[in-house]
A and B are shown apart, each in its own frame.
Chain A
Amino acid sequence: MKNFKTIFLMSLFLFLIILISYHWIFPENGKYEYEDENGDLIAWVGPFQPCIIYVKTNSETFESTTPVFGVDRRHADLAFRISVALWTNIWLAFIAATVFVILAIISGILIGYDQSHLPPIKHRNTFDNIKRLRKVKLGKLFTQLLVETLHAIPMLLLLLVVVIISFRLFDDNIIRMLVMMIAIGVLSIPKLALLIRDRIEALVDEEFINAAKASGLSDTKIIFTHILWYECSPIIAGQFIYVIVQAIMLEAVISFLGFGGGTSLGGLIYQFKDSLPGPGNSGSPLALMPLFILLLVAIVGNGCAKLFMELRHE
């Protein structure tokens, strides 16, 4: 059963990779518009229907069939647009997750690792003063307050402030989304920072940490090698994937509210929302495709995060 799940997950992952690569494999599809045999532009037509392709850049036409996912409301290749959107979402979410991991690790170490055993100060210079600051744990107190504050603010509330402000400040959709992703990364800090803190607190009296300290290993070495690499890496990897999925979902939500960019999955959902099928609504099922891809991203992301967590327990 576990093997079946892993194989299923890997197949979905592979499908998403192929879908992302689609716009690199067939870059010319971005310049095509699809017409019926009378020369009229067509919208919401299923895959592999006979049609005439009109090349926007040099006004050429040739006969073919509609692409793998069919044609969308803008008379363009739906698979190409979804591929571009998915790629945009993935790299933006990676930025959010990278910001998150870096800041959360720093915060987690600062609030978790007790530095009160530092040697006494002998000579007074700037460096020693900084050490003194470490000794009174100002950094720890400030980071703790910051993490607890971020933990207390409902994420969507602060994210909306950032989104509304960046909507006013920047005209470029990509820059707006970039700001939003950095905000998601920063606002997600408490999740991992508190996990790392708890892990450090649980490990700090373990024999292997005492042995490492006794054998003269530096704090940096103990933190990065023994605590973060050996003990916390599955948690960090799991949370990294979780934030990627979360960032993609939040982008969809924000775009759905009308503040997103057109080149992302959320942007496509927003553009296609009037064409969705439903009771008393003459929409096309093809308009559900961005939502379906988003669902696949959630399933693959959650599955991978779960695998990492299982790895941790093993």
Chain B
Amino acid sequence: MIKVFNRSLMIIVFSLFIIFAVLYNFENESLLLKYGNSTILAYLKWCKETIFYHWGNLDSGPKLTLFQGDRHTVGVLSTVSYTFFYGISGLLLAFTLSTVLTYKTIFDHSTTAKVISGFFNFLSGIHIIFFCFAIKYVLGHDAGFHVYILIAIAIGSYTYSDICQFQTSQFHKLQSTDFIIAARSWGDSVFKHARRSIALGLLSQWNSLVGIVFASTIIVEYYYKIHGIGHAIHRYFAKPILKYSTKPVESEFFMIISALVIIIVVIMSGIKEMIYEKLSKTQQ
């Protein structure tokens, strides 16, 4: 437990330092320069200020806060939580879809499930940006219908294929295990016995999938201007920078968004490790 906590803390501190160092050193008039003249000292001061809930301001004036208040504040949590829930919903959809189709293919020898899974696998190799174009130009959804978007996040950018490939090899191994053979011979439900292994499979893939899903969600939000990190990037970074070349990068906003995202990802990864350990022990 302490080991996981220490490792997680180390990763959060180090990863935020990388982002801070890039924004601090390579931007001529970075907003982060107010924290000090040396990168490390400035970073430490930024950490202290962040812990004490002084998250800074946007260049145009509004204060950065956790929740949206009046028009002089910008709420950060809602931005991150929208992206987070979209991403996790997409991931769970991909996982459910893959579990059902792979289970049907391997344990029930269903040809239909195999064909559908193969088709999804092919689609999964296509980048999420294609799905955005297809939804907008072929289906004519300018605002991006939410179900389409969730399906796009679940399938695009290798999300589905990564889960499916892993589950295929996992289920093949599972099929030849003693407890599954015994369950089958007793006429018991195979799924009932396999569900713990399926959950372990999702947990072991968690880290690599979360990054992909976050990236996919950011692209979708940017494209359809849905509230979330993607839209915030469009509104506070891309648009002003492309429009006014002298405007400074909103470094403080970017840092706090990055901090929240990384903290969420690392905490989820820590929880995942603890659940994984517990499940593995129970299985043994």
Contacts and interface: CB of A to CB of B under 8 A. Distances in A.
27 contacts: A145-B14, A149-B15, A149-B18, A151-B208, A152-B11, A152-B266, A153-B258, A153-B262, A155-B211, A157-B215, A157-B257, A157-B258, A158-B19, A160-B233, A161-B22, A161-B23, A165-B26, A166-B26, A167-B241, A168-B28, A191-B208, A253-B127, A253-B129, A253-B219, A259-B238, A279-B140, A298-B127
A160 B237 contact: yes
B218 A249 contact: no
A152 B15 contact: yes
Contacts of B237: 160, 164
B249 A145 contact: no
Contacts of A145: 10-11, 14
B109 to A, nearest CB: 18
Contact of A151 (B18, B125, B211, B222): B211
B136 A278 contact: yes
Interface in B214-234: 214-215, 218-219, 222, 229, 233-234
A252 B269 CA distance: 30
Contacts of A278: 136-138, 140
Given A152-B11, A152-B266, A156-B215, 17 more contacts: A146-B14, A152-B269, A154-B211, A154-B218, A154-B261, A157-B218, A157-B261, A164-B237, A165-B23, A165-B26, A167-B241, A168-B27, A168-B241, A169-B26, A259-B242, A276-B133, A276-B137
A98 interface: no
Interface string A175-199: 0000000000000000100000000
A205 B49 CA distance: 49
A291 interface: yes
A252 B127 contact: yes
Given A154-B261, A253-B127, A161 B19 contact: yes
Nearest to B165: A309
Given A160-B233, A249-B129, A256-B129, A149 B14 contact: yes
A150 B262 CA distance: 11
B175 interface: no
Interface in A278-294: 278-281, 291, 294
A219 interface: no
9 nearest A-B pairs in the assembled complex, by CB-CB distance: A279-B140, A302-B125, A156-B215, A278-B137, A154-B214, A249-B127, A149-B15, A165-B26, A149-B14
A277 B229 CA distance: 29
B130 interface: yes
Nearest to B141: A279
A302 to B, nearest CB: 4
B157 to A, nearest CB: 8
A153 B19 contact: yes
Contacts of B269: 152
Interface of B: 7, 10-12, 14-15, 18-19, 22-23, 26-28, 125-127, 129-130, 133, 136-138, 140, 207-208, 210-211, 214-215, 218-219, 222, 229, 233-234, 237-238, 241-242, 245, 249, 254, 257-258, 261-262, 265-266, 269
A257 interface: yes
Interface string A117-159: 0000000000000000000000000000110111111111110
B218 A156 contact: yes
A258 interface: yes
Contacts, number: 114
Given A165-B27, A167-B241, A298-B126, A153 B18 contact: yes
Nearest to A153: B15
Contacts of B233: 160, 257
Contacts of A307: none
Contacts of B211: 151, 153-155
Contacts of A295: 126, 130
A148 B261 contact: no
Nearest to A273: B133
A99 interface: no
A183 B149 CA distance: 28
Nearest to A191: B208
Contacts of B129: 249, 252-253, 256
A198 to B, nearest CB: 11
Nearest to B269: A152
A299 interface: yes
A257 B238 contact: yes
Interface string A256-267: 111100000000
A162 interface: yes
A156 B257 CA distance: 13
Residue with the greatest number of chain B CB neighbours at <10 A, chosen from A152, A277, A291: A152
Contacts of A249: 127, 129
Contacts of A302: 125
A162 B222 contact: no
B242 to A, nearest CB: 5
Contact of A257 (B126, B210, B215, B222): B222
A151 B207 contact: yes
